[in-house]
A and B are shown apart, each in its own frame.
Chain A
Amino acid sequence: MVFKKQKNAFFQIATELYNTAILQNQILKPYEIERAFEDAPYERIEVDAFCKEFMKEVGKRIGFGMFIKAENGFRPANKVLVPAVLSSDEKEWLKAILNDDKINLFLDHTTQQKLSEALAQDVLLYEKKDVYVQKNTTQQDFTDENLQRVFKTVLRGIAERKHIRFEYYKRKNDVVTTISALPLKIHYHGVNDSFQCIVFDIERNFKTTTTLNMDCIKSATIIDDIVTDQKKQLENTVETAEIELRNEKNLPTQCFMLLSDYKKTVFFDEARNLYHISIQYYDFERQDLFKNILSLGEYCVILSPASLVEQIKKRLERLSFISAQDAPENAVAQEAPR
């Protein structure tokens, strides 16, 4: 069972509070203790009730024995820290990540070896044969040393907010291009099982993002002297699409599962029996979203932006064109009577 009392937020907060007090040699004031528990995912009245119990003095102690009364507050009752102990389930899960190809992008072989030895006594959460994951054929080879090197450089660039000089080639013509860019995020596509690096090209004045397939990056070098905050830049690239979805059979569930990662505002129009959905997405995700909407067919209508509406019209026109132009033998043109 994964729903555990030891993982309750009050346990977690008490642990952090206690360890911080030891590490920083702090005497905690009652209000500091109460304030820390305010972050627990509970209603205010429940947090207050817990705090009341926690602050109850038994002898000279509070916090069910965790803290002892000191001058102007409370100090930890023990000298040792609350140890970080991983449960068996957590270790089984950690062992499972070592079983995945992508781990090579994060951990060196020696680190994997050390961890693997430390977890030798634990069972593996599941064998690959026990779980079938339906995804597309990946084009990225996670054992490729250059990909691993580039990936780690990008990780460092993002963590240290530094610019990177990329040498990359487009699959189409294999011409190597060089750009200096601010790496924003590593984007993982769950269906394609592939990584992309989302960057702001410095020469384009941070106006639009560029997406680089990780396997197309030949080299990445950190430019040490520039540091920029990435988060604000990314917010400028958000676009909004408005769609209408008919409330028929399993369609809403299918659609909402498909759109589960997007920021959306939903309004159910009872009179027309349809959902009005406003979706926010980053500019580099436009085509992926468009493809998803198309998969819902006529049940999902794009209202805006105009560019997506135009794109769908062009696709419909193209279908008429290919149907009329070259209908294969035994195939009937996809032109139903109107």
Chain B
Amino acid sequence: MNGKECFQTAIREYETIRPYLRFMYLYGCCTKKYMTDKGLTTSARKFEEDTRRTRAIIPNRIDEMLVSRRKSLRVNVSALDIDENYLAASYFIRAFTDYDFALHFAILFILAETPGIRLEALVKRIDGMALHDKTISKNTIKRFLSEMIMEGLVVKSNGYSLPPDPFAKLSDEEILALITAVDFYRNVLMVSILGEYAYSSLIHYASSSRRHKPPDVSIFMFRYRHLERIVDDDTLLPLIHCIRTQKKTRYKYNEKKREGFPCQIRYDTFYGRQYVVIHDGKQYNILPITNISEVTVLCDNARECPKPDTFLRHSWFVSQPQKNEKPAVKVRAWFYIDKDIHYILERLQREKRHGSITNVSEGKYLFEIGLNDPHEILPWLRSFLGYVVIEKSDEHDLYERYSASVSRMREIYGI
């Protein structure tokens, strides 16, 4: 398996598989030509390797078919069919060595039996376990222990020990309730791969420490959970660490190296887009996390950046104010909602964000909002087709765009 020519599913950097996996999941289909044209793969060989890797990660879910004499791949999975985020499996293929494997288990066994053990005694015990046909040096063991300490798997205080059990005071029933909560949150909360890890650790804990297996019943269904977010977690987590510690970061954005102070993560639950607001010393930049890679935390002095909330107060989501400091563009739309379709009004009230609604007369409502970029709101207004009329304005072209769209739809549907 070590030959240079040999394919390996295991990878050292998550970035290797991230763009391919994301595209395959979102689009549901791809061809080599399409991926090459879009710049999502660097070579035919890389495409083949990524396909093999994805097939190993999600077995029996990639179908192959011929379309116009070209091999086309399709993902045959549904977030509704399965309760678990199958993309999480992509985080379980990190490359490791035999030493990593042997030391990981040996250290856990020894520390479980002998808490507070000193390094010399630990080295002796590992040597005595005849883990491998080659000897493991003291330095290798020390380095491995440091890695485990950094991960929080081992604590060093009067010798080496396992960290205290955080669930010691919880009853079996409380552990089961916590498992259900984690099962829910791993699909909802940010950095969901940590939720996936915590979930598997808890299941492991319940069966090993409590001899209790949770019932195998799927309880939740989700809409707008956006499973694809998980592939960005490897980038997202260091950005969150930077925000928390107010540290500077170096990162790659669209293949260019940049630096700045991340100050907020913005997540759009509707489209599943995640952005980071970074201050580069002069101005705020709002960048999609999908296009960021190679994030490193710099050791520069920490600096607090003001949150961009005021700066983005006229944003439907991430549009920035115009550079010449023009005031927000005012958009007015009229909603015609009869009494019997109260749910449309409820929806409008729920989704209006910083806009205001005035009941002008029975069944007639005026919606007003100030926006940095009025085009951001158009898809939302379009979803109220049949209930909304956009007011014409010299400040924006929403009326013209919407009218053209409606006109085209009339042609398509033969109205």
> What are the interface flags for A84-126 relative to B under an 8 Å C-beta threshold, 1 for contact and 0 otherwise?
1111111111101100101100111001001101110001011
Task: Say yes or no: A130-B178 contact (C-beta < 8 A), given A258-B270, A262-B78.
Answer: no
Closest to B414 in A: A313
Closest to B245 in A: A123
Determine if A9 is an interface residue (Cβ-Cβ < 8 Å).
yes
Task: Say yes or no: A42-B391 contact (C-beta < 8 A), given A106-B181, A135-B269, A338-B410.
Answer: no
Task: Say yes or no: A258-B413 contact (C-beta < 8 A), given A46-B1, A111-B170, A189-B224.
Answer: no
Query: In the complex, what distance in Å separates the CA atom of A180 from the CA atom of B134?
Result: 67
Pairs of residues from A and B, 8 with the lowest C-beta to C-beta distance, nearest first: A263-B78, A88-B152, A315-B386, A190-B224, A106-B181, A336-B403, A84-B205, A64-B102
Please determine whether A257 and B271 come into contact, CB atoms closer than 8 angstroms.
Answer: yes
Minimum distance in angstroms from A286 CB to a CB of chain B: 12
The contact size tier of chain B is: 35 or more
Query: In the complex, what distance in Å separates the CA atom of A207 from the CA atom of B220?
Result: 21
Please determine whether B267 and A139 come into contact, CB atoms closer than 8 angstroms.
Answer: no
Minimum distance in angstroms from A160 CB to a CB of chain B: 8
Query: Which chain A residues have a beta carbon within 8 Å of chain B's beta carbons?
Result: 1-12, 14-16, 18-19, 23, 40-43, 46, 49, 53, 58-59, 61, 64-66, 77-94, 96-97, 100, 102-103, 106-108, 111, 114-115, 117-119, 123, 125-127, 129-137, 139, 155, 158-159, 161, 171-172, 185-193, 198, 231, 252-254, 256-258, 260-268, 270, 277, 280-282, 285, 288, 291-292, 294-298, 301, 309, 312-320, 322-323, 326-328, 330-338
Return chain A residues, CB-CB under 8 Å to B402: 334
Closest to A261 in B: B79
Determine if B408 is an interface residue (Cβ-Cβ < 8 Å).
yes
Query: In the complex, what distance in Å separates the CA atom of A51 from the CA atom of B132?
Result: 15
Q: B residues 292-316 with Cβ under 8 Å of A?
A: 307, 309
Please determine whether B181 and A103 come into contact, CB atoms closer than 8 angstroms.
Answer: yes
Interface centre among A1, A87, A231, A297 (most CB of B within 10 A): A297
Known: A3-B91, A83-B209, A89-B152. 15 other contacts (CB 8 A): A3-B234, A58-B131, A65-B129, A82-B208, A85-B201, A89-B197, A92-B194, A107-B174, A131-B240, A133-B267, A193-B269, A260-B79, A312-B409, A316-B415, A334-B406
Return chain B residues, CB-CB under 8 Å to A262: 78-80
Return chain B residues, CB-CB under 8 Å to A40: 92
Return chain B residues, CB-CB under 8 Å to A291: 383
> What are the interface flags for B146-172 relative to A under an 8 Å C-beta threshold, 1 for contact and 0 otherwise?
000001110000000011101111100
Determine if B405 is an interface residue (Cβ-Cβ < 8 Å).
yes
Minimum distance in angstroms from B193 CB to a CB of chain A: 5
Please determine whether B80 and A190 come into contact, CB atoms closer than 8 angstroms.
Answer: no
Please determine whether A282 and B151 come into contact, CB atoms closer than 8 angstroms.
Answer: no
Task: Say yes or no: A191-B224 contact (C-beta < 8 A), given A9-B93, A298-B405.
Answer: yes
Q: Identify B266's interface contact among A119, A134, A298, CB under 8 A.
A: A134
Please determine whether A188 and B184 come into contact, CB atoms closer than 8 angstroms.
Answer: yes
Determine if B211 is an interface residue (Cβ-Cβ < 8 Å).
yes
Please determine whether B273 and A256 come into contact, CB atoms closer than 8 angstroms.
Answer: no
Task: Say yes or no: A2-B25 contact (C-beta < 8 A), given A131-B264, A333-B389.
Answer: no
Determine if B379 is an interface residue (Cβ-Cβ < 8 Å).
yes
Q: Identify A132's interface contact among B227, B234, B266, CB under 8 A.
A: B266
Closest to A3 in B: B14
Minimum distance in angstroms from B181 CB to a CB of chain A: 4
